[in-house]
Amino acid sequence: MFVDNGLRRIVHQVWDWHDDRRYSVHLYITCQTSDLGWHSSHFVGHYRAITPDEVVSLASQVGFDDVRVLSPSTTGYYQPIVTAATA
């Protein structure tokens, strides 16, 4: 929950996986109004997950050099990090 000018806002997501790579994210935002009522909004985004190897391939295809994937065990961050350089 988030409070802005004394009014509460509640935000949550629901993820619907369609297969092992495609999913939809439903974003719900419910805001308290100044007349003590509530207003809800719903937004949907559709996504396709790509692998780190696909990111490396695509980055190389568009001209990046020295494209590398750094693992979580190397960086301490919970997701792989992709680095690259431009000429």
Q: Which helix (H) or strand (E) holds 80?
A: none
Strand-by-strand arrangement of the 2-4 sheet? 2-4, 7-17, 22-32, 38-48
Q: Pick from 84, 80, 83: which is nearest to 52 by CA?
A: 80
Other residues' Cβ atoms within 10 Å of the Cβ of residue 67: 17
Local confidence pLDDT in tens for the 87 residues of the chain: 778 888 999 999 999 999 999 999 999 999 999 887 999 999 999 999 999 999 999 999 999 999 999 999 999 999 999 999 997
Other residues' Cβ atoms within 10 Å of the Cβ of residue 25: 13
The pair of structure tokens assigned to 47 is 């996504």
